[in-house]
Amino acid sequence: MKQNKSLSLILIILSLGIFLTACTTPQNNSNVVSNTTDNNSIIEDESMDESDVVTFQLTGVNFSFLMDGEEAPEIRVKEGQKVRIELTSTEGFHDFVLDEFFVASDKVALNESTSVEFVADQKGTFEYYCSVGSHRAQGMVGNFIVE
């Protein structure tokens, strides 16, 4: 009898573990076209024509995103536009997250780069941010505007 209770307890624990893993695993979203990490090279998605993609190059520094020397740059695109965000870290460990579009780049360390591509399929103003540690709370954010 004691052995049956132990076996039941083990099965319950395993089932709970499987359930929690399934609930916390990110779901694929067709909005995200690709997400790559590499040192200065980007893997192209063959379904995207290069001329259809608007690219923004962000630099991650301590607690801030920079683009063309501007801190917390506003990124502005048109609805339906294909967007590529290229992120390079020149200080620290960073990523790029845009929740409403289910976009999350890989995390990159000093002198590493990553990119993510997606379609801006809804109008509005959305906050992008770095999800590493307390970077978001310390101001590593910006506005992504879809017109």
Distance CA 142, CA 127 (A): 6
Q: Kind of pairing, strands 70-71 and 124-129? A: unpaired
Q: Are 25 and 19 in contact (CB under 8 A)?
A: no
Query: For the segment 67-82, what is each residue's pLDDT rounded down to a tens digit?
Result: 999 999 999 999 999 9
Q: Kind of pairing, strands 53-61 and 82-89? A: parallel
> Taking 70 as the threshold, does the pLDDT of residue 110 lie above it?
yes
Class of domain 31-146: mainly beta
> Taking 50 as the threshold, does the pLDDT of residue 38 lie above it?
no
Q: What is the pLDDT of residue 52?
A: 86
Element housing 44 (H / E): none
What average pLDDT is seen over the chain? Answer: 80
H-type alpha helices, 57-138: none
Instruction: Give residues with Cβ within 8 angstroms of 50, minimum separation 6.
Output: 44
Write down the domain spans for the chain.
31-146
Task: Assign 42 a pLDDT band (cuts: 50, 70, 90).
Answer: very low
